[in-house]
Amino acid sequence: MHTLLNVSSSPHMRDKNTIQTIMLDVIIALIPVILTSIYYFGNDALILIGVSVSSCVFFEYIWQKIFGQKVTVLDLSAVITGILLAFNLPSQVPVYTVVVGAFVAIILVKQCFGGIGQNFLNPALTARIFLLLVYPVQMTDFSAEILTDISMDIVASATIENDAVTGATTTEIDLLSGATPLVLLDNNDIENLPSMIDAMTGNITGTLGETSALAILLGGLYLLYKQVITWHIPVFYIGTIFISATLYGGLTTGLYHIMLGGVMLAGVFMLTDYTTTPMTVKGQIIFAIGAGLLTFVFRVFSAYPAGVSYSILFMNLAVPLIDRFVYNRVFGGEKRGIKEALKLGMMMGIMALICAGVLSIVNFVTAPIIQGKISIEENSTLFELNFYAEEFVEVAFDDGEERQVFIGTSNGKYVGAVVKIVSQGYVGPIDMLVGIDNENLVTGIYFLSHTESARFGANMVNDDFKNQFINRKTPLIVTKTEAKDNEISIVAGSTITTNAVVSAVNEAVEFIKNNKNVEDVIKSFGGWQ
């Protein structure tokens, strides 16, 4: 008896997984990170994620409708892009910035190249870098800190004779900022970094997805269990950074390098993107090691300590070359020669040089613009803290504390001052400005930078806390009840942070009231108005 065999066309291997089921697993894996970000950043995180996801879905739907394509928003890929984009943004970023980022990610990076599976760059990370270039101030606003070192000229009218009176010197303002964990790590300031427990649980400043390493690892374990990803890319990427940083600065430095910033998020959710990673295991290992080395180099040897995004995009561009060089040879197929390998290596090197050159040009062009915008903002802050002043002159006092005081004058008379002072908070230093009028009343406070806990101590930047200081006499004291007279109510759950701020304000006013050098400088400007 003859049996007929029915042979179907390829593919002959079938899998129950679909794009939708895979994306759903990724969303489930992201839930711990979503909940952690909402816990630390509150409604800001919820709104940011909601706007990002809805914008990405909207732009994909509109594009496919306009061009008569099959609508694929139900495959959930746009939802994933929206979540990952939100995770790469600070909680304080304006809503319009999120919408612009979603447009870049979905339309320019994904749909313009053919939709899912066709883009050669990671959409969320490309959008992040675009936003950093276009909206640098908004993208570096971590709970009211400014992350770049800034310097601005203040209108100064002090003469050499004035300086000779007290020995004080007039200089440019050098407002210290950028004391976020990554910048502290870049400066090897290990002592002021948050504790390892805070770094692991996410009790630090940063973007939504940079906070909790434990939540990210929990999601990664789920993806490994569901076989959505393999262990090769996360382990080799994170391991490369850890080993490099440990050899460079020791075990503690190595641990902080993988716990802080976007390393964990990148290793588990960004680098494992199917479309923008090599097809073979060997290629993925090369890809991960390359990204890890680039991340370490960016963090340690460049002016941009958060180099995860750039390192991933560089390696995304190298994927075609890796796939061409590292492949599973078909039985009987020819081997690649040494000349071909050298050729491909040279091409990758040239590509890296071109990318580095483009970034250098962009930085050269945009740096003065960014500097100017920040200078304007900081200059206006001085006048907000003392609106009686028509101009400010910065005077540096070297009395063991290296005080910086900005003397405010109107019609040549002293009307108040702004004192720059640093106090030790719960996590690290709090760098702030204190406004004082000519009757030694506090006119306001402004935080330049801090590393306090995102959900607790960082609430000191809110107006309801800062406004308590306005028109108050010192010494101020901290109370856990409703504030009266010279009392300041604590920031909820942050007694140490509140005490640090109040102590700094008291110290600043005391310095203006009782320092003989300050009095001499004030007299040199015509005395009190």
Residue range 184-222, pLDDT digits in tens: 666 666 666 777 888 788 777 778 887 788 889 999 999
22-58 burial string, b = 16+ CB within 10 Å, else e? Answer: bbbbbbebbebbbebbbbbbeebbeebbebbbbbbbb
- φ/ψ region of 95 (left if φ > 0, alpha if ψ in -120 to 50, else beta) reads alpha
Half-sphere exposure of 353 (CA within 13 A, CB side): 6
Q: State how far the Cα of 110 lies from the Cα of 476, in Å rounded to an integer.
A: 56
Six token digits for residue 462: 């809110």
Helix, strand and coil content of the chain, in percent to the nearest 5, comes to 55, 10, 30
Q: State how far the Cα of 313 lies from the Cα of 315, in Å rounded to an integer.
A: 5
Q: Spell out the long-range contacts of 503-506 with Cβ–Cβ below 8 A and sequence spacing 24 or more.
A: 503/423, 504/421, 504/422, 504/423, 504/430, 504/432, 504/434, 505/434, 505/442, 505/445, 505/469, 505/474, 505/476, 506/474, 506/475, 506/476
Q: What is the pLDDT of residue 366?
A: 54
Q: Which of 228, 342, 323, 240 lies closest to 284 in space, CA to CA?
A: 323
C-beta of residue 174 within 8 angstroms of C-beta of residue 151:
yes
As a whole number, mean pLDDT of residues 396-420 equals 77
C-beta of residue 82 within 8 angstroms of C-beta of residue 57:
yes
Q: What is the pLDDT of residue 167?
A: 38
Task: State which H helix or E strand residue 419 sits in.
Answer: strand 413-424
99 vs 402, more confident: 99
Q: Is the peptide bond before 475 cis (omega within 30 degrees of 0)?
A: yes
Instruction: Determine phi and psi for 156, rounding to 5 degrees.
Output: -120, 140
Q: Is residue 142 predicted with pLDDT exceeding 90? A: no
Q: Which of 414, 318, 321 lies closest to 121 in space, CA to CA?
A: 318
189 vs 18, more confident: 18
Q: State how far the Cα of 423 lies from the Cα of 414, in Å rounded to an integer.
A: 26
Six token digits for residue 437: 């009028």
In tens, the pLDDT along 364-405 reads: 655 555 454 444 445 667 877 877 777 877 777 665 565 678
167 vs 445, more confident: 445
In a 3-state reduction of DSSP, which class is residue 288?
helix
In tens, the pLDDT along 511-528 reads: 888 877 777 777 776 655
C-beta of residue 205 within 8 angstroms of C-beta of residue 454:
yes
Alpha helices by DSSP H, 337-396: 338-385
Query: What residues contact residue 274 under an 8 Å CB cut-off, 6+ apart?
Result: 117
Lowest-confidence pick of 25-39, 54-68, 413-427, 433-447: 413-427
